[in-house]
Amino acid sequence: ATRLYGCDHIEVAKGLHGLANVYSRSEPKRAESMLREGIRIYRLNPVSGELGSALFDMGTILEDKGEFERAKECYVEASESLQLSQGTILLQAKVHRATAFIYYR
C-alpha cells in the first residue's frame, strides 16, 4: 500500500491497523508498533471511526500488557474520537465498557 499510495495515506493506516489486529495476540509488540504508525496516519487523515477504532485496539493491547493508565488514555481518546466522528454505537459501547473496567481496577 505504501508504494501505491505513499506513506501517509489512509489506506496504509487501514492496512497497518488490520495487520495489527492479526498480530495482537501472537506478537503484541509488533501489533503495538503497527498500531502506533496507523494511529499517526489516522491523525493526519481523520476518517469516521477509524482513529477511534485504532485507539480502542491499542487500549486493548496495553491493557493486556498491564499498562492500565496508558490503556485508559487510549480508551478515553477513542471515546472522544468516536463521538466526534459519530462512530458506530456498538464500538462506542465497547469503548465505554473498557474505560469503566479500567477505572474500577
d(CA 77, CA 85): 12
Contact 19, 34 (CB under 8 A): yes
Asked whether residue 2 carries a pLDDT value surpassing 80, the answer given is no
The pTM for the full model equals 0.79
Backbone angles phi, psi at 24, to 5 degrees: -60, -35
For the stretch 25-83, pLDDT in tens is: 899 999 999 999 999 999 998 766 789 899 999 999 999 999 999 999 998 898 888 77
Average pLDDT of the segment spanning 92-99: 68
d(CA 53, CA 31): 14
pLDDT at 91: 63
Asked whether residue 87 carries a pLDDT value surpassing 60, the answer given is no
Work out the angle at residue 26's Cα, subtended by the Cα atoms of residues 90 and 37, and round it to the nearest 5 degrees: 65
| Residue listed under C-alpha cell 509488540 | 29
Asked whether residue 89 carries a pLDDT value surpassing 70, the answer given is no
